[in-house]
Structures are given as structure tokens and as C-alpha cells.
A and B are shown apart, each in its own frame.
Chain A
Amino acid sequence: MSDATLSFEEAMEKYDPVLGFEVHVELNTKTKMFSSAPNVFGDEPNTNVNEVDLGMPGVLPVVNRTAIESSIKIGLALNCKIAETCRFARKNYFYPDTPKNFQTSQYDEPIAYDGYLDIELSDGTVFRVEIERAHMEEDAGKLTHMGGAAGRIQGADYSLVDYNRSGVPLVEIVTKPIEGAGSRAPELAKAYVAAVREIVKNLGVSDARMERGNVRCDANVSLRPHGRERFGIRSETKNVNSLRAVEHAVHYEIRRHAAVLESGEPVVQETRHWHEDTRSTTSGRPKSDADDYRYFPEPDLVPIVASREWVEELRATLPEPPAARRKRLQADWGYSDLEFRDVVNAGVMDEIEETIAAGATATVARKWWMGEIVGRAKNADVDPGQLGVAPATIVELNKMVEDGKINNKMATEVLDGVLAGEGTPAEIVEKRGLAVVSDDGPLLEAIDAALAAQPGVADKIRGGKIQAIGAIVGGVMKATRGQADAGRVRELILERLGVEG
């Protein structure tokens, strides 16, 4: 079942990848693209709908003005030109998740076009991705196929359809073919989608949660032999819904294409489905450029006119661009270039910003995210922001450490407890009986015992070899099962031995 692949290195030796992305962004408007029904995720099926979303006879669409504004903002943030007038079209095809049996979408008159986005790779290289257009459309409903295998329509006994998502406003951002990424292609793919997500999140126009499908990526990959200008035949991997998956999907498709080309077979132009579990793609439906959707201008809507005044008003409301924001944050936080790049590459810049906003210092926030959470996220194979650590948790943990209630080692234990769902840090400290032993009495007992157990070491310290103190401290910590404050222990040992620290 699984396709043959070459190693990535071998693929890169022989071929040059060309990428292209279609990123769908769900807007977080209060109501839908063309109806007054609420745009809300995850409610009881078929409750956030009205007659327009259900495509009842006689209904007409009305364009959501906020969605237009959001689309213009996205276009501006992607350095696009904004069309003075543009229209919607009908994309005609029969499918039960599309209640009218056509999708109202922009076609040859996108609201935004000819833009670019500068993407910074992990080593600081800046790669420019050209944006062909950003156009508006409506989302389809959601089909659930019951019975049969793997939730596919083939072999299903019946299918359920939920129209809550039907009519949710989408902006589809389409790149021009991306050439010259070479072996950085998978990394660029991830960085590009991350940048788009960051933009729409900062603009406040989308909840930008990939796990909820707010940002969905279709990744086009083709290979051509080095030195050839003409593009190879592409595959389109649909709905790759996490940043890591985007990187992996491009990586996989490059290896698969290379194996197909090596075997002398042509690559099939088709959509591919991404499987997170096997980190591979399988064949979807064949796709040709000749799919006939019988597009024509939507006669139920008047053209959208974006006056230059309006566009400039919206431009004035744009938040600072991500690159400028990074520069500002790095300066504010006082991170070195390397530290800051690590933070960006780990994908925790927003999280650190939120943690600082919640009351932590920049150093503390970085220590926790980079030192503790990123590693745990990697082990759990999720993006760090999705691990489940709230900024407030970090602030609370840090305060406990600063107040001397717990030490750093305990704090990481408490963090694990939080992630295991055991409660708040305070509750976990209580439940697990974690508290720094701050009464000197039991500590002194333990110190005396440790000094007695290692009289040679005690003599060395008395003789001025203070660095030998670690052995005694370790003994005390062992005896107190780590609950002592190591700093205090050190002080007490020196005091006991009458040595100046």
C-alpha cells in the first residue's frame, strides 16, 4: 500500500523541488459570509444555520462587510494590491456538503493580488514567497461517513452532514510557484504556513487554530531535474493541518516523487491525503486543470467596491508587521540573536510574549518555555503552544520558586503534574507533599549526619577547599529527598564548620 520513496538526500541530489501553497483561513466574523447565522465552532450539528446556509428555495446571499474588511487586511499584510472592484463567482459542482450545489467564491477577480511574504528560515536566511492572490469564498458543510472503512465515502453505509460550517467565511491565499528552496523546501513550507498563521492571528481576523481547521494548508509539490526550467507534474496534498505536518508532508512528497521519477514513471497529477500516523500520503482523486466548474459571475451579488479611502483606513489599523514585531520583542526582552532565533524556531514567541504579559520576566519566560516545555512538546509530538501550559501556570510556578516554597527541581515535577491534569500548581504541591524544608532543625541534623559520614571531606572544607562542599550538600539533599533548599544547606554547612563562604 505504501509508496516507494527515495531518501531525502538522494532526492535532492537529483531533483529540484518546486512548491506552491493554498492556505485557507477561516475568518472569525460573528456571522457567516453570506448569512446572519452565527459563525461558531463545534456546536450541536445543524444548529448554527438558517435558510440561506441550507440553500432553501428563494434565498439570496448578502456579503458580510466585516469579512471584506478582514480580507482586505490580510491582503495588505501580504503586501498585495487590493482590487478597486471585484466580484464573486459561482463554482458549480454537485456534492452534498455544498447546499446550493455551487460554492460562492471569487474566481478571476480576487480582492487581493500580487503580493509577497518574506520568510525567515532557521539560520536567518530570508526567502521571498510571491503571493498570487488572496480571494474570498465560503466554507462547505462537514460530511461524516458512517460504516465502511476509515471514514471514507467509499463503502460507507450512509453519511451525515453538518451545515454549521457551511458559509463560514474563508480567505484562500495562493502562492506563485516557489522555486529555488532546494533542500530547505520542507523547512520553508513550515515557515511559510507559520508566517501566514502569525499574520492572520496578529490581525485578529482569525482564531488561527490549525487543530480546529481555522488555517488549512494544501501543499503542491513537484520535482524537476536540476537545470531544467519546465516544472514537473505536481501533486496536491490536502488539508495538512499542523505546522509539523506541513514540513513532513513536503518532505515525504519530495521523496515519493523522486522514487516515481527514478522508476521512469510519470507522476500522476492528483490530490493526496496526508496521514499523520504513518507520516505519508495516499492517492486521492485525480485532478486535472480541465475540471469544469462552469464558473460565472454570481448574479445575486453586486460587485464589491473597495474605495482607496477605505483601503487606507484599514491599512492604518494594521498591527506592526511580524518582522518589525520580532525586532521589537527581541530588543524588549534582551535576548541574544541566537536565543531569539531559537525561540522563533521553536515556535514559542507568542507564548513567551503572553507569559511576560501574565507577569513573568523575559528570562523566566524563556527558561520555562525553552528549557522545559519545548522538550516535552517534542516528546509528545505536538506544537509547544498546544501542550496545555497556560502562561499563568508558569507565573505561579516561578513565584513559588522565588518565594522559596519549592525549588527548581520540584517545580518541574509540579509542571508534569499540571500537564497530567492533577490540578493547579498549588494543589499539586499540596497533594504531592512537595515543599522546601525550611526549618533549620531537621536540616542541621542531616548536615551533622553527612559531615560525620564523610569526615575527610569535612576536613578539606575546613582547610579551605570549599569546592568540596558539593559532596556534603549532595548527601543532605539525598537524605531530605531533594526537599531542602540547596543554597540554604550550603550556608548552614559553612556555618557549622566555621568557614567563611
Chain B
Amino acid sequence: MTENNELIRSSAAALAGKLAAREVTAVEVTQAHLDRIAAVDGKVNAFLHVNTEEALAVAAEVDAIRAAGGAAAEELHALAGVPIAVKDLIVTVGQPTTAGSKILEGWHSPYDATVVQRLRAAKMPILGKTNLDEFAMGSSTEHSAYGPTHNPWDLDRIPGGSGGGSAAAVAAFEAPLALGTDTGGSIRQPGAVTGTVGVKPTYGGVSRYGAIAMASSLDQIGPVSRTVLDSALLHQVIGGHDPHDSTSLPDPLEDLVAAASIGNVRGMKIGIIKELHGEGYQAGVENRFNESLELLKEAGAEIVEVSCPNFKYALGAYYLIMPSEASSNLAKFDGVRFGLRVLPEDGPMTIERVMGATRAAGFGDEVKRRIILGTYALSAGYYDAYYGSAQKVRTLIQRDFDAAFAKADVLISPTAPTTAFKLGEKLNDPLAMYLNDVATIPANMAGVPGLSLPGGLADEDGLPVGVQLLAPARQDARLYRVGAVLESLLEAQWGGPLLDKAPSLTAAPSLNDSSSADSSSAGAALSHGGSH
């Protein structure tokens, strides 16, 4: 078990090194993670599907190539044989894709997302598909039709959302890497509350082809990992232009791994966003944030304060644009061509009524809420006041960013206002739930890249706090440069990775960490939510 433990706790970069040095085989690495999933995922529920056979086959292929040596072995990608989990919003051939929804239960995509093709080209074994809020709509993963994911730091708490499954899988050492999607913070906020790293790249930096769209102008696929360097490595696998995505940037990808290895921030200007800390932020979050600022200052960065006055409209505008686009994007789920089809129980069997019955049965409450909001916001007579005004706010937010980046190389804020809350706590209060994303949404509205990394544990609850870095569009490299430095300064302080402090999920159950208690509290939360 010791050896397995070492493999699952290794970073992707370390695993890549061991694989290249042939100290370990890809099959061993993959099997260790599959064993870990078998051991802990009953408690965590990070995975909706485990892809055992294919993952081991890919690993075996990598091992065979390495063993044979020669040009093929030399051409192997650095991450070949390093396993990865994929958010179940991203389509994959050979595995189901559900988007966390009943409406796609059992559906298999006939094509691979571009990012999945790139994982396959790099010969990274795909461990399986991770849980999420239905159609990525939520901040807690409680809106999954397949039950909530539990935070490995405290199984009674939410792992963030919508990408709680990917973050929890990485935090629970079930995978060294995962893919997420971030529309308003769905990579970064789960990263913050699970003590992991998550990056939302510049809009257009990673192809969206094959990511089931929530809000097309905001969605972005990005890496989830335990270290900043690992995110950079994964970002380089998935990033770059894709002719299947018109919004994909034509620019060649920057060397992000090199940026993560620069190792200093001397002379860089780091801007604190006045509007994204202080009031409304948990004290422990604020404290850890301030400590990070001190560390960066000590490392030679210049800390400046910037103001982004229009950020206060970001959440409101986001909740008009996102549902508007979602209402249109989700129209295709109608039971005609794929997925669930429900026939009306009585009355005439018309196509409208079949579509209606299918959507009524297949979508959960949060999805319906957003479709209704968006349909309303786009309606004739309301469009200008709602969608039109929200687009203007978007322009104002972009201008705020432009002004801020004239003063600072990167911006910094807490990723989320609080640490992980209890499962069920905010399920019936959508507005409270939406407020979780107040610090992450502006980046999506402006298309700029953002990274969340662990900032320590909050004093009052001992739960992880996230620090968010933001850079100008196409300057993702700056995030990796600053992020890697801050990570090493913090880890030096902690004496190792923050996740070393997370509870062992396989130790004997303690009073606070009992699986029976978890499932009963989660069950109560769910039934409560269901009756809402």
C-alpha cells in the first residue's frame, strides 16, 4: 500500500518523471488510481463513470512503446501514461456523457471533444467521467441528478461547483489531473474549497468543441490539478487553436511550463481588486489572502490597489447573459434525436407535448429555473432591458479590467468569499448560492484568464481557502509564473502541500468522518432539495 500511496500522492510532473525514467509503469500508475477510486469514491462520489478497461489499455500501450524504445518511445508526450479524469460535461467516445442530467442518462457521444482527442494523442489514460451540477449549473455539485459529490476535507460539505467532481477527485488523490469547465467559476471555486489548483484559460485559449454548452460566450475548458506546474503541463496538452471552434484563438500557445518555472516575481506589479475582498468575505478567507499578499511583497512584487467599480454589476449581468444563452443551448434536449424521451401520460401525442414531457421529466429544478430566466430575458420587449443592458455591463467590466491591467501585471483576490459550506445549506436559496461566484464571474464576463491556488486553511473552520490570480487576455503565462512562486512560498511555510493536512479517507472512521453519517446527511439534504 505504501508504494500505491506514493503513486497517488505524486504530482503529474513527478509521475511523468518516474515514467520516463522507467521507475514505474503506466499500468501501475493507472491501476493505483483505479484502486484509490474503488477505495474512496463510495464516500466522495466524484466519478459518474469509471473507465477501467480503456484506461489500462492506454497505459499498457504506453508501457509497450516505452519498452520497445526507439523513435516511438522518444516521441511519447511527457504526460503519456499519466492518468486523468474528465468532467462529464465533455463528450467522450466509449464512455457515457450525462452532463449530470437525467435527460442524457445512458447517452454515448458519437464523437470526441477536441480536448479529449488531445488527451488521446498524448496517450493519457482517461480514468473516467466526473460529477457536476446538472449542465454545470451550480456552485456545489448538489444539482447533479446522480447525487452530490462530497468534499474530501469534510464529507458533510460541498466540493464546490459545478466541477466538484473533478476538484474532489484530484483532492482525494483519485486522479493527479482532471479537466473542468468554467462558465462563472466552476473550475476555480471548487479548486478553492478543495485545496486544489484550477485554471480558467483566456476565452478561446482551449477549444470548446465537445464541451456541452451552458453559456457559449462564457464557457471555457481548463485544467484541474494539485500543483501549478501540473496545470501548466495539462494546459499545454489541451490548449491551442482548433478549427472546429470559431471562437478559438489563432495564436500559438505560450510556453506555460517555462512560465511556471521562472521562480521569481521580482518587480511584478500585483493589483488587489478593492471590490473583491473585505465586506462579505469570511474572516479566515481574508486572513489567508492577506498573508499571500505579504509573501508576494517579501518576494519582491509590488502590491498596488486597483478599483473595478463595475464589478458590482457583474453578478447581475451574468445571471442574464448566462441563462439567456443556456435557454437556447439547452433547446436541443427535446427527446427527438438522442437522450431521454418521455411520452405524455394522457392527451394527444403531438411532438410539442413529447418535447414538453421529456424536458419536464429530464431537467432538474436549477436547469429549469435558468431556462425560464433566459427565455424571459430574451423575449421581445425585454431583450434591450435585460440581455442588451447586460452586454453593456460586460463592456464596462472589460474596461475596468483594461484600466486595472494598466496599473498591474496580474490582479489578485480571494477565489470565493467563504470556505466550503455544508451540503444542503444553500440548496433552497439560489441567490445565496449564486453569491459564491462573485469573485470569479468577472473573469468570464471579460474573457480574461484566472487561476485559483490553495492559500491555506481558514482559522475558524480549518477548511481550504483559495487565492485567485487574474491576468490580461492571452497572458495566461503570468498566472503560472506568479502562481508557482506563491505556491512554493506557501508550501515552504506549511512544510509541504496543503493537501497533506487533509483527512485520510481510508483511515478508521472517526466521529466526524463516518461514512454512515455522511450519507444520511447528504440524503436529507437531497430530499429537501427535491421537494423544493
Contact = CB atoms under 8 A, between A and B. Distances in A.
A296 B213 CA distance: 16
Contacts of B333: 57
B331 A57 contact: no
B379 interface: yes
Interface in B338-386: 338, 351-352, 355, 375, 378-380, 383
Contacts of A55: 332, 337
Contact of A94 (B244, B331, B380): B331
Interface in B414-464: none
Contacts of A56: 91, 109-111, 337-338
A300 B110 contact: no
Nearest to B355: A94
A29 B247 CA distance: 23
A92 B324 CA distance: 11
Contacts, number: 102
A296 B110 contact: no
In terms of DSSP, what is the predominant structure of the interface of chain B?
A: loop
Contacts of B355: 94
A376 interface: no
Contact of B379 (A96, A100, A161, A294): A294
Interface stretch (B204-212, B259-267, B271-279, B485-493): B204-212
A302 B111 contact: no
Nearest to B333: A57
Given A58-B213, A102-B328, A51 B380 contact: no
Interface stretch (A59-67, A76-84, A385-393): A59-67
Interface in A76-105: 90, 92, 94, 96, 99-102
Nearest to A158: B349
B392 to A, nearest CB: 14
A301 interface: yes
Nearest to B101: A57
Interface string B210-248: 111101110000000000000000000000000111110
A159 B245 contact: no
A130 B107 CA distance: 50
Given A57-B212, A58-B211, A90 B246 contact: no
B104 interface: yes
A55 B217 CA distance: 18
Contacts of B337: 54-56, 99
A290 interface: yes
Interface in A90-134: 90, 92, 94, 96, 99-102
B387 interface: yes
A327 to B, nearest CB: 44
A300 B244 CA distance: 11
A218 to B, nearest CB: 22
Nearest to A301: B246
A441 B377 CA distance: 94
A332 interface: no
A292 interface: yes
A334 to B, nearest CB: 53
Contacts of B217: 299
A58 B212 contact: yes
Given A59-B209, A94-B355, A296-B387, A100 B332 contact: yes
B403 interface: no
List 10 tightest A-B contacts by C-beta distance, closest first: A101-B331, A294-B378, A299-B216, A299-B217, A58-B210, A57-B212, A58-B91, A55-B332, A292-B380, A58-B212
Interface of A: 51, 54-63, 90, 92, 94, 96, 99-102, 159, 161, 290, 292, 294-296, 299-302
Interface of B: 90-91, 97, 99, 104, 107, 109-111, 113, 208-213, 215-217, 243-247, 324-325, 327-328, 331-334, 336-338, 351-352, 355, 375, 378-380, 383, 387
8 contacts: A51-B111, A58-B90, A294-B327, A294-B375, A294-B383, A299-B215, A300-B247, A301-B246
